Amino acid sequence: MPVECRYKTVLAGIGPIDLREKQMERIERDFFAREKDDQDAFLSQTWCNECMEADLGMVEPQEYEMDGVVVVEGKCAKCGSAILTEIADDDTDGEWEDDQ
């Protein structure tokens, strides 16, 4: 008879993983500490899944890091839906998961 455990799971034969330890920590960052040109680029070069359009703009930006990925999250300037942009660093800039 299997023993039930509320917080552990087995992933692809790796073994039990404590999910409480795997929660990603959100580290807040200061978007407005960036150079003005960078801010403008991140706020204008957007994609909205609701409008299905590019470059509509972002309002109310919040920058944070989660699991090593830097993200700027805000609202679409046209419809107000949540949008986000992952910021690539120099090591990964230009490399997409699909390209590998």
pLDDT at 51: 95
Question: Torsion angle, CA of 46/47/50/53, rounded to 10 degrees?
Answer: 100
Mean pLDDT along residues 70-99 = 79
What phi and psi, each to the nearest 5 degrees, are found at residue 19? -65, -25
pTM above 0.85, yes or no: no
Domain boundaries, the chain: 25-93
pLDDT at 83: 95
